Each structure stands twice: as C-alpha cells, then as structure tokens.
Structure 1
Amino acid sequence: MVGAGAIYMPKFEGSDEFELVPIPMVSATFGRVTVDPGGLSVDVLNSNGFKVLLKGGYDMGGGRDEDDSDHLKGLGDIDAGAVIGAQLSYELGLVELYASVDKTIGGSDGLLGEVGANVSHHYDRFILSAGASATVADDNHMESYFGVTAAQSARSGLRQHEANAGLKRFDIEASVTYMATENWVIRGQAGVGFLTGDAKDSPIVQNDVQPSAMLIVGYKF
C-alpha cells in the first residue's frame, strides 16, 4: 500500500503544545515479511490464533531535540536509534490480545514493553476498531525522557528528578477505516495517552494527558 496522511500530536511526550506531522505510507508484504517506513517484521509463527512477529528497523517516533520547545532548553538532545523487538498476539474472535517488547540500540538505549487488546468489526465498507494498552519502560528510557540530572537542572531551571523503571503510560484509541473502492482506503484514528508514575511526576511533563489524531489516505495494489 502507498499513501500519505498527517498526525496531530504533542511536540514531545508530556508537552502541552501540539504539531501537525506529515506521514508517508509505503508498505508491502512478501510472504511472511512486511516492509514499511519503520523497518521490517517477520511472521515466524501463525497457528491456532497465535502469532509471533520479530521486527527490526528505525525508531521513527524516537529521539527528542531540545529545540522542539522552549520548555526543553538545557536538557540536551536524545538521538533516535535502531529498534529490534518481538510481539506475541492471540486472536479470539473479534478480539486480539498482544504483548510486545522493543529494544532501542543507540539514543536512549531503552527497553519498552507493551500489553494490550484490540477489537475490530467489519460493517459494509467500514472497519471499526478500538484498543487499550499499557506501556512499561526500563531505567534507561525513563531517565532519558523524564529524568532531570543536576547539570540539566542547572541549565534548564527545572528541578532535579529521578525517573525509575516502571509503568509509564496507559493508552486508549479508536479508528474507522473506510474502503472507498476496492483499492482506495481512508482511515481516521484518535487516541489519548495517560502518563503515570515517575513519568507523570517529571518536571519535563507539562500535561500528563496526551491526545492525538491521525488521518491517512492509501492505495492498495
């Protein structure tokens, strides 16, 4: 599929400012291998409702630049990096349960784990979907994105903060996909994340409620 769209989202995780970011969309599946802008995934198991994916690529949404916001001045930049990971999912009727783990190589060198559930329903030309998830993170990720060291505190004016491993956020989302023709697809999605724990308590975070919205138009070959 090829397409394009845009996402309206916080400038950084925890920001109270928003930006509109264009999204190019190119994806293709060759047997058990899927290639998209984030990298590739390999379907290594698909049996009796269970599916195991191995994935690798680039952390498209990772990294952070202190020039993204005046609030980040003095905190320094966080580089994006390569990502390797795996996902286990189980389909039970209309419901999919999943658990995934992703390791960033470079940048924060962080480790993220996510568990969640999605439900979808086909109605005529529409696909209606909704999901909920929880994300946990290790010390490297939490300290990189939510911690404030003594040196950063002196440069930025923010108070010092130690962010330890633990539950980072909950997310809920809903989407509508419209099959306009056999080939043309229009998808709208909205969601909201709720930062928690040491992430929520960080002085870097201006708003612990993080909404977003996305619209994509694509063509399926």
Structure 2
Amino acid sequence: MKKIVLQVATFLGALSCFGSVNATETRTPLVPLPSIGDFTNGDGWGVGLGLGVEYETAYEGSDEFEVEVDPAGGVQWRTGENIFFWAGEAIGWRTLARDSWLFQTSLGYEEGREEGDSEDGRLDGLGESSSGATVLLEVRYALAEDWRYFLDGRVSAGEIGTLGIFGAGTCLACQPDGTGWEIGAVVTFHDGELANRDFGVDTQQSIDSGLPETDVDSGYRSTGFNVSYRNYVNENWQIFGEALYEAFGSDVSDSPISRNDYEAEVGVGFIYVF
C-alpha cells in the first residue's frame, strides 16, 4: 500500500466541527465486531486517524518478512443502519438487516507485486504483476445473539481476477462498543487469472528468470486463521491488533514463486476517534 502523508494540523482543524464523544457516552457501532470498525456514534459523521505497524511476508509465498507502517482509520457517515465509508484505498457501504445480516460492498485498488519486493532477488526476471480496481461483496450472518458466532462470505473480483473467501468466526468478550476479541477461520478459492498473477510463470518470465514455466489451476487456494482485537484506552483513543496465518494448498505451494507454504502477518496500532 502506498504511504499517505497527512497534513495533520490542517486536517485536525477541519475535523473539529465533528466534535467528540463525552466521557459518559457509549459508542454504538453497527455490529459489535472488533474487525468492523465503526467510528460513528449512532448517526452522522465519524472520523478515526491513526497508524498501524505490520510485520508480514514481503509478497505472496515469500519467505522474507518486512515491517510496514500504514495509516489506519477512515472517514464514515452513518444514517440508521447504513454506513458509507472511505478507508485507505477503498470506498464503500455497509448495512445491517434484521439485526442478523450484515452486507457490505466496496470499490478498492489492488497493487501488483514488484521485482523489488524481494530483497534476495527471488523475483528477478518476473516483472511487475498486474494492478487494478476490485469490487468486494461481503455477507455476514449472526448465528447467535450479539454476533457471538457468525458465518462470513466474501467475493473480490476485478481486473486482476476473482477471490472467494468463506468462513466462520466467534466474538470473545465482545462489548456493545465494538471492542474485544474476534477469532475466525476461512477457506479461500481463486480463479485461474488471479492464481497465475500471484504464482504462475509464463514463457517469457521463465526465460528471463530461469524459473520453470508454471500454470496454476483455479480452485482451492488456502485455509487461514485470523485474530482481531480492539479496545478503547479512554473515550477517544483506541488500540487494535490483528494476526493472520494462511496455509497454501499444494498447487500454490508447489509453484517456484512460493518459498514458503504459508503466509503470516501480525500488526498493532492506534486510532484517535473524533
């Protein structure tokens, strides 16, 4: 993700019109899930600004790890059970239906892999993989009161291919203000275009890199586990953490681009909620 430089003083001045939440107030998010940030307080504008630090694999299938600092938070506007949001490189809308269905759609941008992503030169000759806009559609369904257990389905499609994610999760010690722990397990599938974008080697790439020509079939991609944590230090300061482990299927791990049969990342950060 490209780094975003913010003119903090000017931005904070512009946001002062949104005000802040009194110490005695309790924020009421759309759903009490730590992985779904809601900076509003029922209706109107909500703004959160912060930073996150991630320790993660350098690219899909890499055995190299790197530290990356990215902006965190976003701008939201809520009316009833609908939230319109901008966060990072995505804009979108989510809505709650019948207290147990959460629908979300967003438009984002996915950057491609570059040869320089490998400091060890393991991507030399492969060139840059394609970048492009993606549309995300997500549905979550609550299996128990207060979203203690839920099912999750996501489809991301665009110029770079299609990815499907299906899973289930549980919210541990979650509070009405959207804080607590969330644990999930997912299975992912990809089409041939996305599979070969990330793990394939075409004829020209094989000649330039010396890697064997590889065509990856569509279908099963990986099984993953994730943990999310969110908590308010006080009425405005929020801390968060997340961890992800993704074990690749045999078709992916057999690719010469895959130096590991898994992907992993862990991140922590803070957000100031106005």
Instruction: Please tell me the residue identity of whatever aligns with 1:66.
Output: E
1:175-218 Cα deviation digits (max 9, x unpaired): 33232112111112222111113211101000012221101111
Instruction: Please tell me the residue identity of whatever aligns with 2:224.
Output: D
Matched with 2:107 is 56
Q: Which moved more, 1:167-176 or 1:15-24?
A: 167-176
Contact 1:166 1:197 in 2 (8 A): no
SS in 2 for 1:27: strand
Over 3 Å counting, the alpha-carbon distance change for 1:166 and 1:197 in structure 2 is: farther
Moved over 6 A (4+): none
Instruction: Please tell me the residue identity of whatever aligns with 2:100.
Output: G
For structure 2, the 5+ residue unaligned runs are 1-47
Aligned residue pair count: 216
Matched with 2:184 is 131
Instruction: Please tell me the residue identity of whatever aligns with 1:188.
Output: G
Asked if 1:6 corresponds to 2:53, the answer is yes
For structure 1, the 5+ residue unaligned runs are none
Bigger strand fraction: 1
Inter-partner Cα distance in structure 1 for 2:54 and 2:93: 26
Instruction: Please tell me the residue identity of whatever aligns with 1:18.
Output: F
Relative to the length of structure 1, the TM-score reads 0.91
Inter-partner Cα distance in structure 2 for 1:132 and 1:38: 25
Write the mapping of 1:91-106 to structure 2, written as runs, cut at 5 A: 91-93=142-144, 94-105=148-159
| 1:81 CA drift (Å) | 1.3
Inter-partner Cα distance in structure 1 for 2:104 and 2:241: 25
Contact 2:130 2:197 in 1 (8 A): no
Matched with 2:173 is 122
Inter-partner Cα distance in structure 2 for 1:196 and 1:206: 13
1:60-112 Cα deviation digits (max 9, x unpaired): xx41001211101111101321111211110122012111111123xxx2111
Contact 2:53 2:267 in 1 (8 A): yes
Matched with 2:114 is 65
Instruction: Please tell me the residue identity of whatever aligns with 1:104.
Output: G
Contact 2:89 2:109 in 1 (8 A): yes
Inter-partner Cα distance in structure 2 for 1:73 and 1:14: 15
Matched with 1:190 is 243
SS in 2 for 1:72: coil
Inter-partner Cα distance in structure 2 for 1:158 and 1:78: 16
| 1:48 CA drift (Å) | 4.0
State the Cα RMSD in Å. 1.8
Inter-partner Cα distance in structure 2 for 1:175 and 1:137: 24
Q: Highest Rg: 1 or 2?
A: 2
Contact 1:171 1:191 in 2 (8 A): yes
